[in-house]
Amino acid sequence: MLALLVVVQTTVGAIKGGVIDTTFHPVRGVAVGIAGSSISTHTDSSGEFRLNNVPVGRQVVYVGHVARQVEVRADTAAFVQFMAREIPAPRSVWEGCKPYGTCNLMRYVATFREHDIPLGIGVIRDSVAWTSFLSRHATGRNSTIRDDVIDWTHEMLVIVSYGPGTQPLDPGDGINRVERHPDHLTVLLGPDSSSGALNTTGWIPATVIAIKRTTLPVEYRAILPATHVPPTVDWSAQ
Protein backbone atom coordinates (compact mmCIF):
# COMPACT_ATOMS: atom_id res chain seq x y z
CA MET A 1 0.00 0.00 0.00
CA LEU A 2 1.36 3.35 -0.93
CA ALA A 3 0.87 6.23 1.43
CA LEU A 4 -0.16 9.45 -0.27
CA LEU A 5 1.24 12.54 1.40
CA VAL A 6 -0.74 15.67 0.71
CA VAL A 7 0.81 19.01 1.53
CA VAL A 8 -1.62 21.90 1.74
CA GLN A 9 -0.04 25.30 1.36
CA THR A 10 -1.99 28.17 2.90
CA THR A 11 -2.38 31.05 0.47
CA VAL A 12 -4.39 33.43 2.62
CA GLY A 13 -3.82 35.62 5.64
CA ALA A 14 -5.66 38.43 7.38
CA ILE A 15 -5.47 42.18 7.93
CA LYS A 16 -6.52 43.77 11.19
CA GLY A 17 -6.29 47.30 12.52
CA GLY A 18 -8.19 50.38 13.49
CA VAL A 19 -9.49 53.71 12.25
CA ILE A 20 -9.09 56.90 14.30
CA ASP A 21 -9.91 60.54 13.71
CA THR A 22 -7.56 63.50 14.08
CA THR A 23 -8.29 63.65 17.81
CA PHE A 24 -7.21 59.98 18.10
CA HIS A 25 -10.73 58.76 18.87
CA PRO A 26 -12.04 55.57 17.23
CA VAL A 27 -14.20 55.86 14.11
CA ARG A 28 -17.10 53.39 14.33
CA GLY A 29 -19.08 51.77 11.54
CA VAL A 30 -16.85 52.88 8.65
CA ALA A 31 -16.31 50.54 5.68
CA VAL A 32 -12.86 49.01 5.15
CA GLY A 33 -12.04 47.06 2.00
CA ILE A 34 -9.40 45.48 -0.23
CA ALA A 35 -8.97 47.19 -3.62
CA GLY A 36 -9.93 44.96 -6.54
CA SER A 37 -11.70 42.52 -4.23
CA SER A 38 -15.09 41.92 -2.66
CA ILE A 39 -13.46 41.52 0.76
CA SER A 40 -14.74 44.24 3.09
CA THR A 41 -16.00 44.88 6.60
CA HIS A 42 -16.93 47.71 8.98
CA THR A 43 -15.18 48.96 12.08
CA ASP A 44 -16.69 47.91 15.39
CA SER A 45 -17.60 50.05 18.41
CA SER A 46 -13.88 50.40 19.22
CA GLY A 47 -13.00 51.50 15.68
CA GLU A 48 -11.28 48.17 15.02
CA PHE A 49 -11.64 45.80 12.07
CA ARG A 50 -10.43 42.45 10.73
CA LEU A 51 -10.38 41.25 7.12
CA ASN A 52 -10.09 37.46 6.76
CA ASN A 53 -9.17 35.19 3.84
CA VAL A 54 -7.01 37.86 2.21
CA PRO A 55 -4.69 36.50 -0.52
CA VAL A 56 -1.00 36.63 0.40
CA GLY A 57 1.16 39.33 -1.14
CA ARG A 58 0.92 43.08 -1.32
CA GLN A 59 -2.65 44.35 -0.97
CA VAL A 60 -4.16 47.83 -1.00
CA VAL A 61 -6.51 48.46 1.94
CA TYR A 62 -8.76 51.51 1.84
CA VAL A 63 -11.08 53.45 4.12
CA GLY A 64 -13.08 55.81 1.95
CA HIS A 65 -10.47 57.58 -0.17
CA VAL A 66 -7.49 56.89 2.13
CA ALA A 67 -5.45 53.86 1.03
CA ARG A 68 -2.47 51.94 2.41
CA GLN A 69 -0.30 49.14 1.05
CA VAL A 70 -0.03 46.07 3.29
CA GLU A 71 2.08 42.93 2.87
CA VAL A 72 -0.05 39.88 3.72
CA ARG A 73 1.63 36.64 4.82
CA ALA A 74 0.10 33.20 5.15
CA ASP A 75 -1.65 32.43 8.44
CA THR A 76 -0.69 35.86 9.80
CA ALA A 77 -2.76 38.96 10.56
CA ALA A 78 -0.98 42.07 9.27
CA PHE A 79 -1.72 45.29 11.17
CA VAL A 80 -2.59 48.69 9.70
CA GLN A 81 -4.05 51.83 11.24
CA PHE A 82 -5.82 54.64 9.42
CA MET A 83 -6.34 58.26 10.38
CA ALA A 84 -9.54 59.34 8.67
CA ARG A 85 -9.83 62.96 7.66
CA GLU A 86 -11.44 64.78 4.76
CA ILE A 87 -10.66 68.38 3.83
CA PRO A 88 -13.64 69.88 2.00
CA ALA A 89 -13.19 72.59 -0.62
CA PRO A 90 -15.67 75.39 -1.35
CA ARG A 91 -15.85 74.20 -4.96
CA SER A 92 -14.92 70.87 -6.44
CA VAL A 93 -11.23 70.54 -7.29
CA TRP A 94 -11.48 66.77 -7.56
CA GLU A 95 -13.36 64.80 -10.18
CA GLY A 96 -14.03 61.77 -8.02
CA CYS A 97 -11.16 60.83 -5.72
CA LYS A 98 -8.66 58.66 -7.56
CA PRO A 99 -8.05 55.81 -7.72
CA TYR A 100 -11.25 54.66 -5.99
CA GLY A 101 -13.77 57.31 -7.03
CA THR A 102 -15.21 57.52 -3.52
CA CYS A 103 -15.53 61.27 -3.04
CA ASN A 104 -15.37 64.64 -4.76
CA LEU A 105 -13.01 66.23 -2.22
CA MET A 106 -9.35 66.94 -2.14
CA ARG A 107 -7.90 64.41 0.23
CA TYR A 108 -5.68 64.32 3.27
CA VAL A 109 -2.63 62.06 2.84
CA ALA A 110 -0.42 62.28 5.93
CA THR A 111 0.82 64.30 8.87
CA PHE A 112 4.48 63.99 9.87
CA ARG A 113 5.18 64.10 13.60
CA GLU A 114 8.49 64.76 15.37
CA HIS A 115 9.92 65.63 11.98
CA ASP A 116 12.98 67.48 10.70
CA ILE A 117 11.30 68.85 7.56
CA PRO A 118 12.45 72.44 6.90
CA LEU A 119 10.07 75.39 6.94
CA GLY A 120 8.26 75.72 3.63
CA ILE A 121 5.32 74.96 1.36
CA GLY A 122 5.41 73.49 -2.13
CA VAL A 123 4.35 70.77 -4.56
CA ILE A 124 5.68 67.31 -5.37
CA ARG A 125 4.59 66.12 -8.81
CA ASP A 126 6.18 62.69 -9.29
CA SER A 127 6.91 59.45 -7.47
CA VAL A 128 10.71 59.79 -7.73
CA ALA A 129 10.71 63.06 -5.79
CA TRP A 130 8.20 61.66 -3.27
CA THR A 131 10.28 58.52 -2.69
CA SER A 132 13.37 60.65 -2.13
CA PHE A 133 11.44 62.89 0.27
CA LEU A 134 10.21 59.87 2.22
CA SER A 135 13.69 58.37 2.46
CA ARG A 136 14.81 61.50 4.30
CA HIS A 137 11.79 62.23 6.47
CA ALA A 138 9.53 59.15 6.83
CA THR A 139 11.47 57.62 9.70
CA GLY A 140 10.56 56.44 13.19
CA ARG A 141 6.85 56.86 13.90
CA ASN A 142 6.47 58.40 10.43
CA SER A 143 7.71 55.28 8.64
CA THR A 144 4.20 53.97 7.89
CA ILE A 145 3.71 56.93 5.53
CA ARG A 146 5.93 55.00 3.09
CA ASP A 147 2.95 52.67 2.51
CA ASP A 148 0.53 55.42 1.49
CA VAL A 149 -0.87 54.99 -2.02
CA ILE A 150 -0.51 57.94 -4.41
CA ASP A 151 -2.07 57.86 -7.89
CA TRP A 152 0.46 59.94 -9.80
CA THR A 153 -1.58 59.74 -13.00
CA HIS A 154 -4.35 61.83 -11.48
CA GLU A 155 -2.92 63.63 -8.46
CA MET A 156 -0.01 65.59 -7.04
CA LEU A 157 0.94 66.47 -3.48
CA VAL A 158 1.08 69.74 -1.56
CA ILE A 159 3.33 69.73 1.52
CA VAL A 160 3.24 72.46 4.14
CA SER A 161 5.76 72.43 6.98
CA TYR A 162 6.10 74.94 9.77
CA GLY A 163 9.55 73.59 10.53
CA PRO A 164 10.82 71.54 13.46
CA GLY A 165 11.55 74.56 15.65
CA THR A 166 8.71 77.05 15.10
CA GLN A 167 6.57 76.30 18.15
CA PRO A 168 4.19 77.70 19.27
CA LEU A 169 1.97 78.06 16.21
CA ASP A 170 -1.12 80.17 15.84
CA PRO A 171 -4.42 78.22 15.91
CA GLY A 172 -5.03 79.45 12.36
CA ASP A 173 -2.06 77.59 10.89
CA GLY A 174 -3.03 74.69 8.64
CA ILE A 175 -4.30 73.81 5.17
CA ASN A 176 -7.85 75.09 4.87
CA ARG A 177 -8.83 74.54 1.24
CA VAL A 178 -7.82 74.71 -2.40
CA GLU A 179 -9.45 76.89 -5.04
CA ARG A 180 -9.14 76.18 -8.75
CA HIS A 181 -9.13 79.15 -11.11
CA PRO A 182 -8.88 79.22 -14.92
CA ASP A 183 -5.20 80.15 -14.90
CA HIS A 184 -3.90 79.06 -11.46
CA LEU A 185 -4.50 77.01 -8.33
CA THR A 186 -4.68 78.66 -4.90
CA VAL A 187 -3.81 76.79 -1.70
CA LEU A 188 -5.40 78.69 1.18
CA LEU A 189 -3.79 78.38 4.59
CA GLY A 190 -5.84 78.90 7.71
CA PRO A 191 -7.77 76.93 10.31
CA ASP A 192 -7.75 73.24 9.44
CA SER A 193 -11.04 72.47 7.72
CA SER A 194 -12.05 69.41 9.70
CA SER A 195 -10.34 69.36 13.08
CA GLY A 196 -9.87 73.04 13.87
CA ALA A 197 -6.47 74.27 15.05
CA LEU A 198 -3.43 72.15 14.42
CA ASN A 199 -0.66 71.62 16.96
CA THR A 200 -3.11 71.08 19.82
CA THR A 201 -0.99 68.19 21.13
CA GLY A 202 2.31 70.03 21.11
CA TRP A 203 3.92 68.65 17.97
CA ILE A 204 4.97 70.72 14.96
CA PRO A 205 2.88 69.81 11.93
CA ALA A 206 4.03 68.97 8.44
CA THR A 207 0.93 68.07 6.44
CA VAL A 208 0.51 66.47 3.02
CA ILE A 209 -2.63 66.71 0.89
CA ALA A 210 -3.39 65.32 -2.56
CA ILE A 211 -5.09 67.46 -5.18
CA LYS A 212 -6.02 66.91 -8.78
CA ARG A 213 -2.96 66.83 -11.01
CA THR A 214 -2.48 70.03 -13.01
CA THR A 215 0.20 72.01 -14.83
CA LEU A 216 -1.30 75.30 -13.64
CA PRO A 217 0.89 77.47 -11.42
CA VAL A 218 0.19 77.22 -7.69
CA GLU A 219 -0.02 80.16 -5.29
CA TYR A 220 -0.18 80.07 -1.48
CA ARG A 221 -2.24 82.57 0.47
CA ALA A 222 -3.41 83.16 4.05
CA ILE A 223 -7.12 83.55 4.82
CA LEU A 224 -6.58 85.14 8.26
CA PRO A 225 -4.20 87.94 9.29
CA ALA A 226 -2.74 85.65 11.97
CA THR A 227 -2.04 82.79 9.56
CA HIS A 228 1.62 82.11 8.83
CA VAL A 229 2.57 81.38 5.20
CA PRO A 230 5.88 79.48 4.98
CA PRO A 231 8.23 80.33 2.11
CA THR A 232 7.70 78.48 -1.17
CA VAL A 233 10.25 75.72 -1.70
CA ASP A 234 11.04 73.03 -4.24
CA TRP A 235 10.57 69.86 -2.20
CA SER A 236 12.21 67.84 -4.98
CA ALA A 237 15.48 69.60 -4.21
CA GLN A 238 15.21 69.52 -0.42
CATH of the domain at 61: 2.60.40.1120
Asked if residue 224 belongs to a domain, the reply is: yes
CB 101 within 8 A of CB 151: no
Q: Domain check: are 144 and 179 in the same one?
A: yes
Is the bond preceding residue 225 a cis peptide, omega within 30 degrees? no
Per-residue pLDDT tens, the chain, 238 aa: give them.
Answer: 455 555 555 689 999 999 887 677 888 888 898 888 899 999 999 999 999 999 999 888 888 777 788 899 998 899 998 877 665 544 444 444 555 555 555 677 888 877 889 999 999 999 999 999 999 999 888 888 888 888 898 889 999 988 886 656 666 677 777 888 899 988 888 766 544 344 444 556 788 888 888 899 999 998 877 788 899 999 988 7
Domain boundary among 31, 56, 83: 83
CB 139 within 8 A of CB 115: no
Asked if residue 4 belongs to a domain, the reply is: no
Q: Domain check: are 180 and 139 in the same one?
A: yes
Instruction: Give the model's pLDDT for residue 13.
Output: 93
Instruction: Give the model's pLDDT for residue 92.
Output: 40
Instruction: Tally the domains of the chain.
Output: 2
Instruction: Give the model's pLDDT for residue 21.
Output: 77
Exposure string of 74-101, with b = 16+ CB inside 10 Å and e = fewer, is eeeebebebbbbebebeeebbeebbbbe
Domain boundary among 20, 54, 83: 83
Asked if residue 66 belongs to a domain, the reply is: yes
pTM recorded for the entire structure = 0.74
Asked if residue 3 belongs to a domain, the reply is: no
Q: Provide the domain limits for residue 19.
A: 12-83
Asked if residue 7 belongs to a domain, the reply is: no
Domain boundary among 45, 62, 83: 83
